Amino acid sequence: MTSLDKPTVDQQGTGGDAADASAATKAALFEAFGGVRGMVETTVPGLVFVAIFTVKRDIHTAAIAALGLSLLMGIARLLRKDTVKHAFSGVFGVAIGAVFAMMTGDAKNFHLPGMLYTLGLAVAYIVTSLVGYPLLGLILGPVFKENLSWRTRNPGRKLAYTKASWAWGLILLAKSAILFPLYWWGDATQLGWVKVALGIPPMLLSVYLTWIFLAKAPPPIDVIAEMEEAERAEKAESSKALS
């Protein structure tokens, strides 16, 4: 049984166990969302685009530079044997934005796909929380080996996932509420620099709040370990019957 699987009473009674569980939860959260490196990788290509466009006022040069940098970072992740999801998710987003900006001739459109994704994600967090399937639980359940056990067997954990999903949804909605007016009424440079500034802080705040909610929640039920234990017991019973 790992520190994440220990009863809540144990965690409260032993400072070391609670600290271990808290650290494991924090590590799992950062891994699930790409870590600090993932946050930087989603921000730097946009920063390069904005910086080059601000100086040269050339959409094609800025877009190609941002896409090239994103590709290099994706290849670097693959060489380090990181997950394909983390390696290419940023590349696809930058590629769509770069192509859209070059096709329309409007630098603001480099940021539009990411803005629409952020808004859609905010709505998804809120709607899934309202219907009882908080998106954060669906994302993190497999990470903590609890799958969907939190829905029916661990109400305290379901509540934590619901609170965290609401936090993500509202934070991303606030971000969208700042960016979309700039897209409609501001210029490309203003939009770009504000979007870069809002790249990492909202995500750090969301991850921090998620960690706070989960740290106070009951530990996850390791359904994978339960299945393995049941399989071992079944094999032992079969062996006993045969003998």
As a whole number of angstroms, the distance between CA 11 and CA 22 comes to 10
Cβ–Cβ < 8 Å for 93, 113: yes
| pLDDT one-digit tens code per residue, 205-238 | 998 999 999 989 998 888 887 777 777 776 767 6
What's the pTM? Answer: 0.83
Q: Is the pLDDT of residue 6 over 60?
A: no
What proportion of the chain, given as a percentage, has pLDDT over 90?
Answer: 54
Cβ–Cβ < 8 Å for 186, 195: no
φ and ψ at residue 187, rounded to 5 degrees: -100, 170
CB within 8 A of 143, min separation 6: which ones?
A: 28, 31, 32
Q: Which candidate, 9, 144, 157, places its Cα nearest to that of 17? A: 9
Interior angle at CA 54, CA 65 and CA 59, nearest 5: 50
Which tokens belong to 52?
Answer: 């080059």
Three-state SS sequence of the chain: CCHHHCCHHHHHHCHHHHHHHHHHHHHHHHHHCCHHHHHHHHHHHHHHHHHHHHHHCCHHHHHHHHHHHHHHHHHHHHHCCCCHHHHHHHHHHHHHHHHHHHHHCCHHHHCHHHHHHHHHHHHHHHHHHHCCCCHHHHHHCCCCCCCCHHHHCCHHHHHHHHHHHHHHHHHHHHHHHHHHHHHHHCCHHHHHHHHHHCCCHHHHHHHHHHHHHHHCCCCCCCHHHHHHHHHHHHHHHHHHHHC
CB within 8 A of 24, min separation 6: which ones?
A: 2, 3, 4
**Per-residue confidence band for 93, with pLDDT thresholds at 50, 70 and 90:** confident
| pLDDT one-digit tens code per residue, 122-157 | 999 999 999 999 999 999 998 888 999 999 999 999
10 Å Cβ neighbour count for 133?
16
Average confidence score pLDDT of the chain: 84
| pLDDT one-digit tens code per residue, 41-77 | 888 899 999 999 999 999 999 999 999 998 888 888 7
- Alpha carbon 152 to its chain centroid, in Å, reads 24
As a whole number of angstroms, the distance between CA 214 and CA 234 comes to 34
Residue 73 has a pLDDT of: 85
Residue position matching structure tokens 């709505």: 123
Which tokens belong to 39?
Answer: 């946050």
